[in-house]
Amino acid sequence: MKPQKRSFSYNADSSANKPVNRRVQAGSSRSWKQHGINLQHNIFWCQHCNVPLLNPICDICKSEGTHINLSPPGDIRFCSHYEREVLKGLLLTAFGCDPIGDRIVLLNKTTGDDRTDEVIVDGLHFGILRFDMRGLGYVFDLSVDGAKILAAHTINKTVELKKASSHLSGKKVKADQLLNFTADIKKQDTVLIKCKSLIGFGVSLSDHEHFKNSEDAVLRVRKLDGNPVSLNPHISSVQDVIKANTSHMEKISRDAANVIKGIVNRKEYKDLPVHVSFSGGKDSLVVLDLTRSTLKKRPLKAFFLNTGIEFPETVEFARNFCSSCGIELIESAAGDAFWENLERFGPPAKDMRWCCKVCKLAPANRVIDGSTSEGDVCLTVDGKRKYESFSRASISASERNPFVPTQLNIFPIRDWRAIEVWLYIYGKNLEYNPLYDMGFERVGCYLCPASLSAEYQLFSRLHPDLHARWHGYLLEWANKKGLPESFVEHGLWRWKELPPKMIKLAEELGIKYDLPAANENFSVDSVSGASPCTGGGFTIEAKVGGVSLQDAADVLYIIGDLKAAESMGVLLVRAGDATVKFFSSGNLLVTADSREKATEVFRQVTLQLMRVCMCTRCGICQGVCPVNAIEIDDMRGLFISNACIRCGKCIQPCVVLKYAPRNLPWLRQGQ
């Protein structure tokens, strides 16, 4: 039978299948605390050497550091050259000075609409550097300590009050309470506030020209207090930070090496080769170097999964680094898999990352199959860290890959923070991906929905040709869906269901949206729910579009024993007490002894029909099948033979079933 063109789409005509209220669906905005995740979110600061410490005691002067609290999760890092220039530009524009100079600046990721970082200078909370999703540019939110530092270096945008009182914090001030003010203040400017021994900051409520004549409040005081704050006279370097944390880095490096050795030297693994998953990012760079130095006499290879949508800099770095170190790099490429599946699935989203399965898991299956003997385990050292995301916060020292059962992943730096990763890189003088110095915090796929708008803006400048192709697609997609260009420009395409903070952003910007369900080839229209039969039991009837009789026969053995009568145009499946009939017309009839059984079998059958209709031919299901019952080819597509033992292991990793449409929620029940 000639294969029909299959596309990823759904019937959304039924009012019962409307998307759920997006205001209720908002898990992505939950905090680390709400997720029950408690990671270490503090550091220390040596006031004598003026360096951050990861242990309480400084290795240089042996003095005890000051405790510095950080917003969770506390994945603090060094400020990149690009970020430092951004901060410098904002300070010069607003206050005409940059008192930070060549000091060590740390950034600590915190909650916000987009990139949002606490700025730590000399152990002081200087303020918040964030990317504003409304103006699509960086802004700097001053802290009271930052205000005190700036007040010692500038007279720009400064207001002096007559009455000294720390109780003014959070209150509005009228013009008659002003003693002096500078002539560069505009409405909504952040201003420095002085009041005898008190220093702080606030927001101007009007231009300076209107201060004297206004009867309304002209200033809102944010914070004002008399605690003295100043920069440390000693300016330290990254080398000083390395020296001050030598014992800590030696310990965690030794612990990481012991994790690697403790697992790969087990009796059942000691004769197997070791692989490192090398993405070209900082974390995988560290585990590659750790593994290389730990297992000097063990065969070592690196895997690089080239998704086809990697930054060119990442591909070049991964190849060059391994070549310069004499490490064999096995590159498995997804080719154009992303672009070939884009029309079926639409743009990937934070809550629908189909691209990872198509562009990563399929190449991973291929490279692992080609690198291990039958029955062997593929030992893979991986750089995942708990601090990166909620989903990774509970990873163990080693775990089996649920989608590639023969792969045992080892996570030696799972407890490391970003600053520890960078101290290792700097301490070992390792070459690293140049994208980090350009302002990218993550260097994965250039169009990943998990990327920040701040990085997407950088991407547009760095690779305008690649950006034009992707951005052009997004605009075309938005137009087809009746969405305004602003929906794309402000990064709202990165969610299938907008979280509360993005709903609020859309409302503030006047972006009207109604994310429609796709409506192309595949459809399931239920004629009725589970209805009692006159002869006993319950029946569900439905009309299925986009699936041929041959397609159904190719996959429904996973449900039960089947018989096909093509001359009569009917397929019969027996699943225990339930019976399934699928007709060439697309009619589907499920009968079972109970309402619950009929409903569950109907759900399982429609999932499999959707699976065969939309199969991407990624091959992931083949890799997890324990009895090799699955075949996939370009002509026939997906085929499940009668060798299938109905274990269900091929269902969980299927990208089609993983993202069963939200407008057909009954398909997702129980997954």
- 201-211: pLDDT as tens digits: 999 999 999 88
Do 442 and 388 form a contact (C-beta atoms < 8 A)? no
The pLDDT tens digits for 260-310 are: 999 999 999 998 999 999 999 999 999 999 999 999 989 899 999 999 999
Mean pLDDT computed over 50-69: 97
| 28 token code pair | 């992505």
List CB contacts of 257: < 8 A, sequence separation 6 or more: 290, 293, 294, 412
DSSP per-residue codes, 563-605:
EEETTTTEEEEEETTEEEEEETTSEEEEEESSHHHHHHHHHHH
Higher pLDDT, 519 or 157: 157
Q: How far apart are CA 601 and CA 589, in angstroms?
A: 11
Q: Give residue 601's pLDDT.
A: 93
To 10 degrees, what angle do helices 418-428 and 246-264 make? 100
Residues in contact with 69: Cβ distance below 8 Å, sequence separation at least 6, in sequence order: 41, 42
For the CA atoms of the chain, what is the radius of gyration? Answer: 30
Contacts 24+ apart (CB under 8 A), 64-70: 66/123, 67/42, 68/42, 68/43, 68/44, 68/120, 68/123, 69/41, 69/42, 70/41, 70/42, 70/43, 70/108, 70/118, 70/120
d(CA 414, CA 385): 4
Percent of the chain with pLDDT over 70: 88
Strands 42-46 and 66-69: antiparallel
Q: Give 39's pLDDT tier (boundaries 50, 70, 90).
A: low
Residue 551's closest CA among 634, 610, 470, 496?
Answer: 610
The predicted structure's pLDDT at residue 365: 82
**Residue 151 dihedral angles phi and psi, to the nearest 5°:** -60, -25
Over residues 615-649, the pLDDT tens digits come to 888 888 888 899 999 998 876 789 999 999 999 99
The pLDDT of residue 166 is: 64
462 within 8 A of 438, measured Cβ to Cβ: yes
Judged against a pLDDT cut of 70, whether residue 3 lies above it is answered with no
Mean pLDDT of 70-88: 95
- Sequence-separated (6 or more) residues with CB below 8 Å from residue 377: 268, 269, 272, 406, 407, 408
Compute φ and ψ for 53, nearest 5 degrees. -125, 140
Residue 390 pLDDT class (50, 70, 90 cuts) = low
CB 178 within 8 A of CB 218: yes
- Which residue in 109, 145, 106 sits closest to 127, CA to CA? 145
If pLDDT is split at 50, 70 and 90, which confidence band does 461 have? very high
Per-residue pLDDT of 130-163, as tens digits, reads 999 999 999 999 999 999 999 999 999 999 998 7
Supply the pLDDT for residue 373. Answer: 75
Model pTM greater than 0.85?
no
CA distance 186 to 157: 9
**566 band by pLDDT with thresholds 50, 70 and 90:** low
What pLDDT was estimated at residue 36?
Answer: 47
* pLDDT in the model for residue 535: 66
Q: Is 662 helix (H, G, I), strand (E, B) or coil?
A: coil
SS3 272: coil
Residue 665 has pLDDT above 90, yes or no: no
pLDDT at 633 (0 to 100): 80
pLDDT recorded at residue 8:
26
* Each residue's pLDDT tens digit, 414-445: 999 999 999 999 999 999 999 999 999 989 99
Amino acid in position 254: R
8 Å CB contact between 492 and 513: yes
The answer to whether 130 and 114 are in contact (CB under 8 A) is yes
Q: How many whole angstroms separate alpha carbon 423 and alpha carbon 425? A: 5
Contact 148, 197 (CB under 8 A): no
| Distance between CA atoms of residues 31 and 545, nearest Å | 42
378 has which bridge partners? 407
Least confident residue range of 122-131, 472-481, 644-653:
644-653
Is the Cβ–Cβ distance between 577 and 597 less than 8 Å? yes
Q: Which of 385, 384, 410 is nearest to 397 (CA)?
A: 410
- Calculate the alpha carbon distances from 366 to 318, 339, 353 in Å: 19, 20, 20
For the record, the structure tokens of 411 come out as: 């996570």
pLDDT for residue 40: 64
Examine the pLDDT at 16 and tell me if it is beyond 70. Answer: no
- Residue 19 pLDDT: 27
Instruction: Give residue for tokens 């970003």.
Output: 418
- pLDDT tier for residue 532 given thresholds of 50, 70 and 90: confident
For residue 7, pLDDT beyond 50: no
Residues 563-574 have a mean pLDDT of 77
Question: Does 37 or 262 have the greater pLDDT score?
Answer: 262
Rounded Cα gap, residues 68 and 122, in angstroms: 11
Q: How confident is the model at residue 388 (pLDDT cuts 50, 70, 90)?
A: confident
**CA 235 to chain CA mean position, Å:** 35
Confidence of residue 18 (pLDDT cuts 50, 70, 90): very low
Rounded to an integer, what distance in angstroms lies between the CA atom of residue 91 and that of residue 87? 6
| Phi/psi-derived region of residue 433, left when phi > 0, alpha when psi is between -120 and 50, beta in every other case | beta
Three-state DSSP at 35 gives coil
The token duo for 646 is 């109905």
Q: What are phi and psi of 195, to 5 degrees?
A: -155, 85
Whether residue 346 has pLDDT greater than 70: yes
- For the chain, the straight-line distance linking the first and the last C-alpha, in angstroms and rounded, comes to 32
- Residue 352 above 50 pLDDT? yes
With a pLDDT cut of 90, the percent of the chain lying above it is 60
Place of tokens 């397609």: 551
Q: Where are the alpha helices (DSSP H) in 106-235?
A: 144-151
Residue closest to 217 by CA, chosen among 162, 163, 174? 174
Q: Which domains does the chain have, with CATH numbers?
A: 245-436 (3.40.50.620), 520-668 (3.30.310.10)
43: helix, strand or coil: strand
Asked whether 386 and 414 are in contact (CB, 8 A), the reply is: yes
Candidate from 241-245, 328-332, 493-497, 502-506 with smallest mean pLDDT: 493-497
The least confident of 20-24, 105-109, 478-482 is: 20-24
